[in-house]
Structure 1
Amino acid sequence: MTLRAERVTRTAGGRLILDGVTVTPAPGGVTGLLGPNGSGKSTLLRLLSGVLAPASGVVTLDGRPLPELRRREVARRVAVVEQQADTLVELTVADVVRLGRIPHRRAWSAPSAADERAVGDALRRTGLTDRAAQPWHTLSGGERQRVQIARALAQEPRELLLDEPTNHLDIQHQLDLLDLVTGLGVTTIVALHDLNLAAAYCDRLVVLRGGRVTAAGTPREVLTAERVAEVYGVRVEVTHPDAGDRPHLRVLGSLSRKGS
């Protein structure tokens, strides 16, 4: 068992953001959340992390509703990487990564040897060891994103939630990041815009549109030309290189420009 959302609904300002959404990721697998801007992906991730509460439905961890669990208990299990993170406090890269160890430490206690090993390993795995002493505010957007990934790794989670983690990253670091995440063996739910990255790295996909699930299944089942046209309003050519199950999409143009 792992983290699940069952028929969750969320409203904001009188507007329905999520409408009866169910997500049941396989333990240890990678589930991709797809959908255009405003479809509810970020809100769903916040519900799964416990930052927001659903108006109806329930989010469970190992079958227990999140409100029944202590916040520290959830924080030890579930790590979150949001689209943007910032701080006004003067922190080094290593300081930011150490924040991932807070759920594992007693209040006001100094970092243990185990904490420092976890921090060092997270820096190494994200290629940031030589940046450990660098001030956070001097980093580029892509570098900051990698530091947030390192912070999440230092937390040693069993569930990992990522909201557009490849934003601000160049192509090499996008691939390196997703290679790292998919190799962790933890239950991962990741919101992505790039359909080809989702097809290449996710075991299952959930497509949101207008706050509702319009499709769920394997990349081959979900990423059809007809569905991409319906959800995103673009024409694509879908191929399956080497007769594999993972499709590749080539964008042909916007449906609104068809025949122009």
Structure 2
Amino acid sequence: MTDSTAETPGLESAATPEAASGLRADRVSRRTDGRLIVDGITLTLRPGETVGLLGPNGSGKSTLLRLLAGILAPSAGVVTLDGRPLPQVGRRATARRIATVEQHAHTQTELTVREVVALGRIPHRRAWASASAVDTRAVDAALERSGLTDRAGQSWHTLSGGERQRTQIARALAQEPRELLLDEPTNHLDIQHQLDLLDLVVSLPIAAVIALHDLNLAAMYCDRLLVLREGRVVAEGAPGDVLTPSLIKRVYDVQADVTHDPGHPVIRFLRRTAKP
């Protein structure tokens, strides 16, 4: 493990034909108010895999997701979709491929859950066109997969924080993306719904990037981890290779024991001071 993205496993695939397919960030940086938030990160998202973004607050996870989605433009480097820079792909075409779920979603408009989920179909319709039968089926399927069918007619403003998050997941599913970007989607969810949501994400035949704080959830559900600190990649690889006591101490400044269940590591954090 090194602080240099040039030595990060997997970056050598940049010149292969497969690297031109799908979503890729190539040495992207983002500077805001004179401060470097993301510093030279390269990430190739492979078909069908789930990548976990880890790192403390302020490490650049949310900014990297917004760069991948085309919401922000990189100060340096390029984000490509099937080998084309996102500005050349265009916002509408990008939105048909990439769905995002951010940490906080707000609306002043009085909308029902179904109406919020139906927003995911906008990239698939012509301007001012009414919803088609295909749109209706996609919304129905997204509501069902997210466990929200019985809440479809309920006002968005009456939902709990967890229910709002599930509604945003359903909106992303209705978009029928091939790439899904989620920024701390398990926030505000109880344990059951955290597991249900991540079970759903990894069951989808799409590639996903998920920013997470819970290292155990990342170890359970992610095929690959990208660990950030101060905007740079400090480790990348399979959870069992990345989540070591030394890495956790280095990135999070906490002590942890790491054991290995079949298939993934299990992290147990240690108290800073023992009880008297």
Question: Shorter-chain TM-score: which interval?
Answer: over 0.9
Unpaired segments of 5 or more residues in structure 1? none
In 2, Cα distance between equivalents of 1:38 and 1:176: 28
Deviation at 1:258, TM superposition (A): 8.5
Paired residue total: 256
Equivalent residue for 2:247, pick from 217, 227, 250: 227
Match of 1:248 in 2: 266
Contact 1:219 1:245 in 2 (8 A): no
Deviations 1:158-202 (A, max 9, x none): 000000000000000000000000000201000000000000000
Write out aligned runs for 1:51-62 (5 A).
Answer: 51-62=71-82
RMSD of aligned alpha carbons: 1.3
Unpaired segments of 5 or more residues in structure 2? 1-20
Q: What is the one-letter code of the residue matched to 1:181?
A: V
Deviations 1:19-41 (A, max 9, x none): 10111122110000000000000
Deviation at 1:245, TM superposition (A): 3.9
In 1, Cα distance between equivalents of 2:47 and 2:207: 5
Please identify runs of 4+ aligned residues in structure 1 that moved more than 3 A. 257-260
SS at match of 2:80: strand
Structure 2 residue 120 is matched with structure 1 residue 100? yes
Aligned identity (percent) is: 67
More divergent stretch after superposition (142-151 vs 63-72): 63-72
Equivalent residue for 1:159, pick from 175, 179, 183: 179
Q: What is the one-letter code of the residue matched to 1:38?
A: G
TM-score when normalising by structure 1: 0.96
In 2, Cα distance between equivalents of 1:47 and 1:103: 19
Match of 2:5 in 1: none
Structure 2 residue 235 is matched with structure 1 residue 215? yes
Deviations 1:87-112 (A, max 9, x none): 00000000000000000001111100
SS at match of 1:143: helix
Deviations 1:119-173 (A, max 9, x none): 0000000000000000000000000000000000000000000000000000000
Write out aligned runs for 1:32-111 (5 A).
Answer: 32-111=52-131
In 2, Cα distance between equivalents of 1:159 and 1:31: 11
Structure 2 residue 151 is matched with structure 1 residue 134? no
